[in-house]
Chain A
Amino acid sequence: MNDEPKGKLALYWAASCGGCEIAVLALNEKILDVDALFDIVFWPVAVDAKVHDVEEMADGSIDVCLFNGGIRTSEQEYMARLLRKKSKVLVAFGSCSHEGCIPGLANATNRRGIFDTVYHQTPSTENPDGIEPQSKTQMAEGTLHLPVFYDTLRTLDQTVLVDYYLPGCPPEADRIWDAITAIVGNDLPPPGSVIGAETTVCDECPLKRNEKKIKKFYRTWEIIPDEETCLLEQGLVCCGIATRAGCGARCPQVASPCIGCYGPNKGVHDHGARMMAALSSVIDSDDPREIDRIIRDGIPDPVGTFYRFGLAASHLRRAKPTDGNGALSKR
């Protein structure tokens, strides 16, 4: 493209599913342009560079680091701090590093609860000796280490300073390309901004909207919605009203309600709170008992519905763990 020295790009994957890594490849042939613009110095999924290679780099020598995933273990926290130190621009890439996403939903429980489920209770688990991962194991050859698993998943910016955010689960390829061109062209918003749209999914949604008055919420399997009318008006909990645009309203267009993966819109910190505010406004009842019934019958899991992507980044960050009987416990 030109003779200027190439920039240095790093990508890292912490507590996330890996979809963000694939989203980068969804750039298709533009990935070649990325390669023309940047030397990829660290990308464990695709490039053979080790942690010690990063450790040996000079501070601030990586131009851009796209970091996906939340911070769940001590090793991830170390990598976040290391990459922060080595990078000029650190981008929280995707919903997990931006606001916790599905891994952050595990903040409804804690380490003990997660281990009980994963290593003991699931029907497909066979673990007669009750073995759980240990952070240190003594062997004849020496001590083996595993990262320590935290109780609470933190977002990237709850761990280190983040320059930019790229929302989405995963970010759409077009939005990734917009961000890359903004970085290369030095056409960036002020640090701390989300690189993306500043409106809601409703603005991109082609479905017809009238007045919203809801007597009953339905779950997706309970009704077959009319494909031309706003899904929320039909009683499906569509998070588009409180969610940042950028996806092109892909889900509502195929009659599947928005689940909120692009996170809160500009100026909103707590995605679920905004969703609760918006949804409360459209419930068509002024009788406290009927309101309670509409909410409790129609929304069996408020945390999972309103904070599917934003629990870790919310004001409360996590739920208070309860003991097996549902009573509050101090852990």
Chain B
Amino acid sequence: MSEQIFKPKIVAFLCNWCSYTASDLAGTSRIKYSPQVRIIRVMCSGRVDPSFVLKAFALGADGVLVAGCHPGDCHYIEQNYKTMRRHSMLRYFLEQMGIEPDRLRLVWASAAEGQYLAESIDQFVSDAQKLGPLNWSDVWQDDNRREEAFEEIAAEHAEALEVQA
């Protein structure tokens, strides 16, 4: 079999007022973008708690995109500045955890920028493709000899672990 092209799983959090509307515009304008992206609409990019991003990685995402209104244009006045700071914080943290910080991307796309958002998504998908799969659950599940070691002990104490009627 020929080698399959790696298709990254991308989770994208788009804000209701600008970026999600931009993706809508891309849709109604028949602008194509990669189907590898799974879009989640949030009211504001400031709603994206760092735990959403980490949970996405933990559950198998290869990349996470957060998109919101341009700085200064936030529907909720200044929440996207908080997104900006969280992004900075998260990238720093991911680095230390051994996850390439480039797996997280922040994009500002206004409601009029359907074309730009589509291009940004395509660009991110292609960048994530170059980074390769993350497969985070392997990082903690693949524990040398864990199961084997436990089975050995369990076999020694089989009687105690038996289910009693």
Contact = CB atoms under 8 A, between A and B. Distances in A.
A32 B95 CA distance: 51
Contacts of A78: 150, 153-154, 157
Contacts of A108: 96-97
B28 interface: no
Contact of B140 (A59, A277, A296, A317): A317
A280 interface: yes
Contacts of A286: 71, 78, 81, 84
B164 A74 contact: no
B130 interface: no
B86 A280 contact: yes
A283 B85 contact: yes
A328 interface: yes
Interface stretch (B3-11, B14-22, B52-60): B52-60
A135 B71 contact: no
Interface in A22-55: 54-55
A301 B143 contact: no
B149 A59 contact: no
A292 B144 contact: no
A173 interface: no
Interface string A261-288: 0000000111011101101110101101
Given A276-B50, A315-B55, A318-B139, 10 more contacts: A77-B150, A82-B161, A85-B161, A107-B140, A135-B149, A151-B143, A270-B54, A286-B84, A288-B88, A317-B58
Interface residues of A, number: 55
Contacts of B78: 286
B164 A306 contact: no
B86 A55 contact: no
A12 to B, nearest CB: 15
B156 to A, nearest CB: 9
A74 B50 contact: no
B85 A274 contact: no
10 contacts: A108-B97, A273-B53, A273-B54, A274-B51, A279-B89, A291-B85, A299-B92, A316-B54, A316-B57, A328-B100
Interface stretch (A124-132, A201-209, A245-253, A319-327): A319-327
B139 A320 contact: yes
B160 interface: yes
A14 B58 CA distance: 26
B146 A150 contact: yes
A314 B54 CA distance: 9
Given A274-B51, A281-B82, A319-B98, A55 B139 contact: no
Contacts of A58: 164
